[in-house]
Structure 1
Amino acid sequence: MTRHTRRLTAAAVIAGVSLLATACATTSGSGAAPDTASEEPAAPAEGRVAVAYENGIAVLDGTSLEVVDTFETEEFTRLNPFGDGRTIAVTTSKGFQILDTGAPELTDLVFEAAAAGHVVVHEGKTVLYDDATSETTILDTDVFAGGYDSLPEGETHRSEAAHHGVSIVLEDGTLLTTVGDETARSGAVALHAHDDHWDELASSDECPGIHGEGTAAGEAVIFGCEDGALLFHDGAFEKFTAPDEYGRMGNAYVSETSPIVVGDYKSDPDAEGYLLNAVTLIDTAAHTYEVVELPDEVQYTYRDVVRGPEDLAYILSTDGQIHVLDPETGEIVDAFPVVEAWEGPAEWQDPHPTIKVNGDIAYVTEPASNAVHAVDLTTGETVATVELDAAPNEIAVALG
């Protein structure tokens, strides 16, 4: 394993970027599981799991993986936890359609969006982003606590130019939103609501191709760039520069109890396919950025990395194993087989093995066998499996 380390202490860059605003509020991050080391396999986490396949969605019992119900839908949909432990926002051509995994029911409630994009959950807020308009919709995460009788209204904020972006609201109300247009994306801006307008707190134009986000311990927010990463913390932006001229991070895998962000990494802009063989490790407390090249057998896509027990990173590789990465050292410390070996997808939307985590349990899809597995990450044992009638594509746990 090769490690490229670069310690950076860049000051925040303030640039003049104005946004047309109409309202706001939200944030992001995925929590890590508690530290457990039981000798016995843990039962799969309670709750429901949604699985998308061609023209349909199945709702599974989180413990047995038995199919509770199925629903017809569009050919390709994406699944996003709403954050309340029950609701899933289903990305469709009409917008974000609400799936109640409790009933279960694919409701008629749709937050309209011409190009439904990222869904971010953090600190009691759920944020929806429309790429076609760069409109952010901010909702209370518990907005469906009283039922699914009507579509709730949220606050909205619209950026000056439409782009594939994302918005986050921190605990103090600061809105972070990406900046770009139909031709390029350049950075992010931090805003604070004031009466009927937004005051700009800070901005950065040092993040070409800005994509994705993640919130680490202490509300340290990371965005991926085509030449490194962009951190927002304590009211200021800080740029981390990749060791390669092209060093793209597009997805951040985080724990709100760890300051270290694990990101995907691509250094060849002309590389074919979607498989990756390196990760970034960004310590938001120490302000360090490094790239770790993984062993040759460890190849993954953006769907194949999660954080789990002990804040470790779990990488579902093409060799069919989950490889356990210690973010503190950058070393692979364990591996265990879960699925048969697989090849990378021809297109990013194509079904290929995917991993999601809830507590000590990872839910893993295996499209080649139409299967979904529940894996105890503390032991490496597969504790439940179900075979569906179609190849599973996306998967989401109704996290609370």
Structure 2
Amino acid sequence: MPRSLACATGLSLALTVHAVAQDAEHAREDVTHYRVFVGDHADPRVTAFDLTEPSKRWTFATTGQPKLYGVDDGSAVVAVQSDSDAVHFMRSGISLHSHGDHADIEIADPAAVRETLTGPRPFHLIDHVGKVVINFDRGGYAAVVNAHKLGEGEVEATRLPQARAHHGYAAPIGSAWVTSVASDAPVEGDTAPKRLGLQQVTADGTPVGDVATCTGIHGEAFSGAYLATGCEEGILTVTAGTNGPSFTMLPYPADLPAGDSTGTLIGSKAMQVFLGNYGAKGLVVVDPVDEPHIRHIELPFRRIDFALDPANARFGYVLTEDGTLHQIDVLEGKVARSARVTEPYSMDGHWNDPRPRIAMAGDEVVMSDPKAGLVRRIAKDTLEEAGMIPVEGMPYNIAVVGGSGVMHEGDGHDHAGHAHSHGDPKIYAGYFEDSQIQDRPLSDYAGDWQSVYPYLRDGTLDPVWRHKAETGTMDAAGYKAEYETGYRTDVERITIEGDVVTFYKDGQPTMGTYASDGRETLTYKKGNRGVRFIFRKTGGNADAPQFIQFSDHGISPTKADHYHLYWGNDRAALLNEVTNWPTYYPSSLGPNEIASEMMAH
């Protein structure tokens, strides 16, 4: 670990903090709301309805059979139509905004986004760090769409070229990209090129370094610091590092059934673990950090579909062809309970024949039942039926968006007036009363964060220093020198999830669990003040720091947009360090976006 990282809240380059409008001025209502989107197997359409009020419905026309994905925390739904060379987008009408101690929920009618994407056979979709990446298998490129703009009804897309067209994917890793790689010519007796592995590329598709072998690469997911993908040899994992992505192969254990492999993976958002398929009758639980890395779960019948529970990371659910739904204990690596929920569906025949698909909605498993023309609601704890919703046609692919949050009086269901303050300028400048200060939870800083130091070194931030020099007391070179000392760090990334803080140095994680250790109010030479929110280590790796301290100009609970951080083992000494103040912005932002943010504030 590096030396203590210090925060200088009195420095002129400050962090913008979005503060929640005073809830005391408005009535609040706790709301749980889930909306279901169902694609028809035969007819080109998507049906949407609220889970608790299914009689109110919306229908969206598509070009062909859609596979549905909820993206940007459910604010948008993407309909990928592989056989029709089209991708349609919908605003889900449900937005969740985290504010540390609570989330606000906004509810409106769903709406189709006018713009679409067309291209040769779109297939795999990845939603990660604010980017939706759709691979066009026969086009030899991936379309990269701004996820946040989708939630606002805009399709802002660029292309990442691949060396050759193939059934694969591209994914962002920290500030870099990786893409699957295929051979120049089809395998003998096949019509498609053989998939060979994964390689780092630049944003314009230029290869960087060697190809990490992953024969037959297929299926991908993110969990914590890791991207995982299925191979014939095992599970290939990828983490971000200062010098680019780091690749590690986790071989299949010798006691797994020979000849099978993993081609579909789901990543947990609540803990660092993956659930994947393995052969026709198996699942694997993949732990990228601790051994055993791969544990096998044998199922009694062939698997139809499976999902992880985002609300309780311990459990997953899998439907087998006999019509039985099984609850999977991910920690124990076994089937916890089973119940018959539908008529049998044979896995014989074409892979795209109409069979049930499952998704999660709070305390329920939501399952399409194409033959019965139903969407079934199943209590996830007991696996008992909670309700049936008739859906016209043959309901097939399914996506569920929504969750729980606070609805403010006057928002109604349009939420046009849902406003948040962007911070009191006096507080931002460091002038406030002690009575205004409130404790803040670690969740205010939750997320995936990148250091801005590399962007100072490569010149990306040079416009920031020129901008500061226009009204400041130094020239651009002087500001760059000052911030070179301030931003300096070899920790390129930090992730914060629950009480777990993970520091990444050269792609290698160091993890600690932390609890609040109060706050300290500091007075600076010019008379303004700042508040540092302090957290003490309660567990984790031995070399994780004993104390971490945040400063982002906020003095009460609010979600941080970016922050300065310092850490070390001496709580008091850290308060005196004001020359080195590494700054972290969301990993979803690109370098030029960060520079623009800095100049705007």
Establish whether TM, by shorter chain, passes 0.5: yes
Aligned with residue 120 of structure 1, among 116, 119, 126: 126
Check the 8 A contact 1:345/1:352 in 2, yes or no.
no
Aligned residue number for residue 214 of structure 1: 221
One-letter identity of the residue aligned with 1:227 = E
Check the 8 A contact 2:265/2:276 in 1, yes or no.
yes
Post-superposition CA distance 1:163-187 (Å, at most 9, x none): 01112113x2221211115411010
Check the 8 A contact 2:92/2:111 in 1, yes or no.
yes
Deviation at 1:159, TM superposition (A): 0.8
Paired with 2:32 and 2:124, the residues of 1 have a C-alpha distance of 25
Check the 8 A contact 1:345/1:351 in 2, yes or no.
no
TM-score (norm 2): 0.52
Aligned with residue 47 of structure 1, among 21, 30, 34: 34
Report the secondary structure of 2:271's partner residue: coil
Post-superposition CA distance 1:141-182 (Å, at most 9, x none): 11034435xxx3323211111101112113x22212111154
Aligned residue number for residue 251 of structure 2: 241
Q: How does 1:311-322 map to 2 (within 5 A)?
A: 311-322=314-325
Post-superposition CA distance 1:224-263 (Å, at most 9, x none): 1133221112532112233355222100122022222221
Q: 1:285 to 1:112 in 2, by over 3 A?
A: same
Post-superposition CA distance 1:315-362 (Å, at most 9, x none): 112232321112222221122332233322511111101111233332
Q: How does 1:191-340 map to 2 (within 5 A)?
A: 191-192=201-202, 198=206, 200=208, 203-204=211-212, 206-217=213-224, 219-234=225-240, 235-242=245-252, 243=254, 245-266=258-279, 276-296=280-300, 298-301=301-304, 303-308=305-310, 309-340=312-343
Report the secondary structure of 2:371's partner residue: helix
Post-superposition CA distance 1:83-117 (Å, at most 9, x none): 35232221231321123343444444211221111
Report the secondary structure of 1:143's partner residue: helix
Q: How does 1:95-110 map to 2 (within 5 A)?
A: 95-102=86-93, 103-110=109-116
Q: 1:66 to 1:379 in 2, by over 3 A?
A: farther
Aligned residue number for residue 270 of structure 1: none
Deviation at 1:282, TM superposition (A): 1.7
Q: 1:84 to 1:225 in 2, by over 3 A?
A: same
User: Any unmatched runs of 5+ in structure 1?
Assistant: 1-43, 267-275
Q: 1:285 to 1:115 in 2, by over 3 A?
A: same
Q: How does 1:1-400 map to 2 (within 5 A)?
A: 46-53=33-40, 54-55=42-43, 56-66=45-55, 68-92=57-81, 93-102=84-93, 103-147=109-153, 152-170=155-173, 172-181=174-183, 182-192=192-202, 198=206, 200=208, 203-204=211-212, 206-217=213-224, 219-234=225-240, 235-242=245-252, 243=254, 245-266=258-279, 276-296=280-300, 298-301=301-304, 303-308=305-310, 309-344=312-347, 346-398=349-401
Post-superposition CA distance 1:245-294 (Å, at most 9, x none): 5222100122022222221012xxxxxxxxx2111222101153435242
Report the secondary structure of 1:341's partner residue: coil
Equivalences, count = 339
Deviation at 1:127, TM superposition (A): 1.3
One-letter identity of the residue aligned with 1:310 = A
Check the 8 A contact 1:48/1:86 in 2, yes or no.
no
| Greater RCO (CA < 8 Å, at least 6 residues apart) | 1
Report the secondary structure of 2:303's partner residue: coil
Aligned residue number for residue 272 of structure 1: none
Q: 1:224 to 1:176 in 2, by over 3 A?
A: same
Percent identity over the alignment? 22
Paired with 2:113 and 2:231, the residues of 1 have a C-alpha distance of 37
* Runs of 4 or more above 6 Å deviation: none
Report the secondary structure of 2:142's partner residue: strand
Check the 8 A contact 1:47/1:86 in 2, yes or no.
no
Deviation at 1:222, TM superposition (A): 0.7
Deviation at 1:399, TM superposition (A): 5.8
Post-superposition CA distance 1:355-390 (Å, at most 9, x none): 112333321011221110122313434333211221
Paired with 1:339 and 1:197, the residues of 2 have a C-alpha distance of 46
Which deviates more from structure 2 when the two are superposed, residues 104-113 or residues 388-397? 104-113
Post-superposition CA distance 1:28-64 (Å, at most 9, x none): xxxxxxxxxxxxxxxx962321111111221121333
Q: 1:83 to 1:192 in 2, by over 3 A?
A: same
Aligned residue number for residue 27 of structure 1: none
Paired with 2:306 and 2:143, the residues of 1 have a C-alpha distance of 28
One-letter identity of the residue aligned with 1:350 = D
- Structure (1 or 2) with the greater helix fraction: 2
Check the 8 A contact 2:358/2:365 in 1, yes or no.
yes
Aligned residue number for residue 29 of structure 1: none
Check the 8 A contact 1:261/1:281 in 2, yes or no.
yes
User: Any unmatched runs of 5+ in structure 2?
Assistant: 1-30, 94-108, 184-191, 404-601
One-letter identity of the residue aligned with 1:62 = L
Check the 8 A contact 1:124/1:142 in 2, yes or no.
yes
Paired with 1:62 and 1:173, the residues of 2 have a C-alpha distance of 38
Bigger Rg, structure 1 or 2? 2
Aligned residue number for residue 96 of structure 2: none
Q: 1:186 to 1:45 in 2, by over 3 A?
A: farther
Paired with 1:51 and 1:70, the residues of 2 have a C-alpha distance of 10
Report the secondary structure of 2:354's partner residue: coil
Report the secondary structure of 1:144's partner residue: helix
Check the 8 A contact 2:228/2:237 in 1, yes or no.
yes
Q: 1:281 to 1:363 in 2, by over 3 A?
A: same
Check the 8 A contact 2:91/2:153 in 1, yes or no.
no
Paired with 2:402 and 2:123, the residues of 1 have a C-alpha distance of 19
Report the secondary structure of 1:109's partner residue: coil
